[in-house]
């Protein structure tokens, strides 16, 4: 980022994503029973459902014209997708097979670190990725290494990095 522009919009976190659905009922079932989200209260007054888990919200919005939504295409890991980290790739793959959910398995490698990925669609064709991406360090272009962080440790790690940055400049 440009100097003095570390957070120009004063952002705190990603709050939610919104997905337009052919069938709100099918999408609700998928996001609750496959991905583990739970419904939360909303008072916005339009046809949809608000879900939450893993520190993020998903807003499911009923399409005004479900018959004219794009057709569901092939599973392509390079298409737009949302990604979730998991505890056990083997367990996720077994559960997807048991639930007869079509999926594509992939593995990418960077710097000798392998990341396993599973890709599949929600009922409307939105791509979902499940991965063990937390094994990859986040490396800003400035050269500092930052490990992925949970909500509980993120602020502490950011403070430590900010404290180290002046020391690295003077070295």
Q: Which long-range contacts (CB under 8 A, 24 or more apart) does 68-73 make?
A: 69/20, 69/22, 69/124, 70/125, 71/125, 72/121, 72/124, 72/125, 73/125
Cβ contact 115:136 at 8 Å: yes
Helices assigned H by DSSP within the chain: 24-33, 89-98, 151-170
Sequence-ordered list of residues with C-beta below 8 angstroms from that of 87, at least 6 positions apart, any chain: none
Please confirm, yes or no, whether 129 is among the known catalytic residues. Answer: yes
The residues with which 54 forms a beta bridge, in sequence order, are none
Of the candidates 73, 56, 52, 53, the one whose C-alpha atom is nearest the C-alpha of residue 14 is: 56
CA-angle at 69, arms to 66 and 71, nearest 5°? 125
Catalytic residue selected from 87, 93, 109, 129: 129
Radius of gyration of the chain (CA): 19
Give the catalytic positions in this structure.
129
């Amino acid at each position: 980022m440009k100097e003095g522009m570390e957070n120009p919009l004063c952002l705190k976190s990603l709050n939610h994503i919104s997905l337009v659905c052919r069938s709100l009922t099918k999408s609700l079932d998928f996001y609750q029973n496959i991905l583990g989200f739970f419904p939360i209260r909303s008072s916005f007054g339009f046809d949809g459902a608000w879900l939450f888990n893993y520190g993020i919200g998903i807003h499911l919005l009923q399409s005004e014209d479900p018959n004219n939504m794009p057709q569901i295409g092939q599973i392509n890991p390079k298409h737009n997708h949302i990604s979730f980290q998991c505890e056990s790739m083997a367990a996720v793959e077994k559960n997807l097979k048991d639930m007869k959910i079509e999926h594509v398995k992939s593995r990418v490698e960077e710097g000798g670190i392998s990341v396993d990925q599973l890709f599949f669609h929600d009922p409307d064709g939105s791509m979902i990725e499940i991965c063990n991406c937390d094994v990859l360090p986040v490396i800003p272009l400035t050269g500092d290494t930052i490990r992925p962080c949970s909500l509980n440790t993120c602020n502490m790690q950011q403070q430590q990095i900010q404290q180290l940055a002046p020391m690295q400049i003077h070295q």
